[in-house]
Every structure is written in structure tokens, then in C-alpha cells.
Amino acid sequence: MQTILITGAGTGLGKELALIYAQKGNTVILAGRRIEPLESVKQEILSEGGEAFTYQLDISNLESVKRTVGKITAKHDVTYLVNNAGTGCFGPLTELSHEEIMTAIQTNVLGTIFLTKELIPYLLKHGGSKIMNIISTAGQKGKVNESVYVASKFAVRGFTESLQKELEDKVHVVATYMGGMDTPFWDETNHIKDKSRLRSPREVAEIIVSRDGELEIHV
């Protein structure tokens, strides 16, 4: 069994991954900026007899990453990091504010890199440790009105593929690519007209968990 740190675990795909991994007997550490959704997922896991802990974490803030990794590693032997937290950034490039662009890059790219860098020394203490990066089909091809989001996910793809080589035989690093899901991710944008037509995060999470021994997962 693993001790799994999942970012963005209060909602959407991260929540579903946390519920499934906990049902399989793993200990899950739920992280994100808002504590209320994390606590609600934790209660659901505890009520099913599973084990879960919550930690407030803003991956885009290096101080928060260092402080929270310190707290987590003082109490838990983390063997698996799921970099799921991410944010959208949609619209024609000329209409995006610098703040929107900064937030997307800071969260999706720097956040993923900061947290992974801080946690790798702990993951290396155990044989069989894993990292899973939730990317997107946006990490595979360009899309209209998604230039910054796509740029951020191409960056995570490059980061992931490089770590697969750098940590070969030490940490199993998984790249995960999926299309649209019906999650709160789309709540602040009209980029997608009807998100209810997208796949459920539960369905996607079940496929990911059933295949997470692979290096690349396309859902």
C-alpha cells in the first residue's frame, strides 16, 4: 500500500482519484488551497473506513510548498505524488490579462515543478515510489483560444518525460493525458458551452487507477 499525496484533491479528478485510491487501502493525503472541500473528501473516506489527512497548500507559492512539504514529511512517509492541481486559462491571447497568464504558468508549471523538487528526496528513500502528472490532451497538440493553457501543459509534459529518464529505475514517473471532464474546472469560463456533455471525472479516475503501472496513460 502507498501513502499518496494528491494535489487539488477537494474537487474534480483529484477528489475521485483520492476516493478510489483510499478504497483500495492506500493512505491519502489531500492537498489544496481551500480546506473545506478537502475536509469533505476526508470525511467521505473516513466514513468508508479509509485513511486520509488534509493539508492546506498553494503549489504556486514556494513558501507554502516548502512549509507544507515539511509538515507532511514530518508525519508521513510519502511514496506517491499525484500532481493533479491545475487551472485553466482560455481565450484569445490578446484578451488574456498578464495576471491570468501568470496564474496559469505559476500553478500548472512552477507549482508542479516546485512540489516535485521538494518531494523527490523523500520519494527516493523508498523503492517503488511513484509520481503521476495529470497533463491533458492540451499537452499533446495546440488548440484555439488555449495558447497559454496548452503552453503550460506542454511544459509539464516535457518535465515529466525528462524526469522519466532522470529518475529511471528509482521513481516510476507517469504521464497522464485526458480530454475534457465535467468538473469545476470549467465554472469560471464560457470556453466550453455545455460541460455536462464531457466525461465524468469518476470514469476517468477509474481508468487511470486501473492503468497506473504504465508510463503513459491516454484516457
Under the binding rule (CB under 6 A), the answer on residue 178 touching ligand NAP is: yes
| Nearest distance in Å: CB 103, ligand NAP | 8
Catalytic residue (choose from 15, 42, 153, 177): 153
54 backbone dihedrals φ, ψ, rounded to 5°: -120, 145
Query: Residue from 30, 54, 111, 118 that binds ligand NAP (CB under 6 A)?
Result: 111
Query: Closest separation between CB of residue 171 and ligand NAP, Å?
Result: 20
Of 26-55, binders to ligand NAP (CB under 6 A) are 32-34
**Burial class (CB within 10 angstroms; exposed 0-12, middle 13-18, buried 19+) of 15:** buried
Binding to ligand NAP (CB under 6 A) within 138-157 occurs at none
Q: Which of 59, 140, 207, 61 is nearest to 149 (CA)?
A: 140
Could you give the C-alpha distances from 156 to 104, 128, 196, in angstroms and in order? 12, 22, 27
Instruction: Based on the shown chain and the rule CB under 6 A, indicate whether residue 24 belongs to the binding site for ligand NAP.
Output: no
**Which set of grid coordinates corresponds to residue 72?**
507532511
State the catalytic residue, choosing from 149, 165, 170, 193: 149
**Quick check: 57 binds ligand NAP (CB under 6 A)?**
yes
CA 218 to chain centre: 15
**Which residue numbers are catalytic?**
149, 153
